[in-house]
A and B are shown apart, each in its own frame.
Chain A
Amino acid sequence: MSEREVCFIIGRCDTVLWSDASDSPVALPDTRSRWQAIWSRRDDIVEIAHTHPLGGAHFSHQDETTMAALNTALGRSLIYSVVTPDSMLRRTQNAEDCDDTTDAIVVDEPWWTALIRVASGIESSTGKEQ
């Protein structure tokens, strides 16, 4: 399978609520269906994750502006994460300060990172062992 970016919408107890994929390893274009999936599940969403199959454990400018737009629309801040072949970066919000966020590499990854790597076409030999 060729590499492609994948998006997971994650709910409570690490449930995968919805997913979609692009046909590109470096982009996950805007779609109305992704927004509709987010809005219709807004009460249940905990986290939105996407992959960077070619690596790069950071939030791109595209990611940053989309996260800002989503938080504005939803009226609350979600958790966001980027999954790469060998790491997972997660952004969480400080409970006491809405403008204060923390980015950290996740050492104990949730179960679905194996699934999102497979869906992204990331080679198992480079993927994180579960």
Chain B
Amino acid sequence: MAILNITYNGLSVDYKTTVNDRMGDRDIRRTAVELIRSGELPGLHIAHLPDDAFDLYVVDRLRSARGPGGARIYLRPKVPFGRV
């Protein structure tokens, strides 16, 4: 299990309930959209958040040195630049 953190609209929020750390990236993005639509994340309630809100985001998975339970999943914007 892992703590899911979502950064959106200037806020970075942990979801209060742990999520399955084996969820795929697409499911993480879908889950994030639903959490924000339903107001499950403090300060981040957007009822009409578009389905593609996190298409340009990266799912960053951090394992904890303290073992299972301390893992975190960060849904954050991608940050590459480049000529190509």
Q: Which residues of A contact B (CB under 8 A)?
A: 5, 7, 22, 24-32, 34-35, 38-39, 42, 50, 52, 54, 56, 60, 62-63, 65-66, 68-70, 72-76
A21 → B minimal CB distance (Å) = 11
| Cross-chain contact A65 with B56 (CB below 8 angstroms) | yes
Query: Interface size of B by Cβ–Cβ distance < 8 Å?
Result: 20
What would be 18 A-B contacts, judged by CB atoms less than 8 Å apart? A7-B81, A22-B82, A27-B82, A28-B81, A32-B60, A35-B60, A38-B79, A39-B12, A42-B10, A54-B83, A56-B83, A60-B81, A60-B82, A70-B77, A72-B9, A72-B56, A73-B57, A73-B77
Count: A-B pairs, CB below 8 Å:
84
Give complex CA distance A63, B53 in Å.
18
Contact of B57 among A22, A31, A34, A69 (CB under 8 A): A69
What separation, in Å, do the CA atoms of A63 and B81 have in the docked complex?
5
Q: Are A5 and B82 in contact (CB under 8 A)?
A: yes
Select one of B7, B78, B80 contacting A39, CB under 8 A.
B7
Taking the closest CB of chain A, its distance from the CB of B55, in whole angstroms, is: 9
CB neighbours of A69 from chain B (8 A): 56-57, 77-79
Decide if B84 is an interface residue (CB 8 Å cutoff). yes
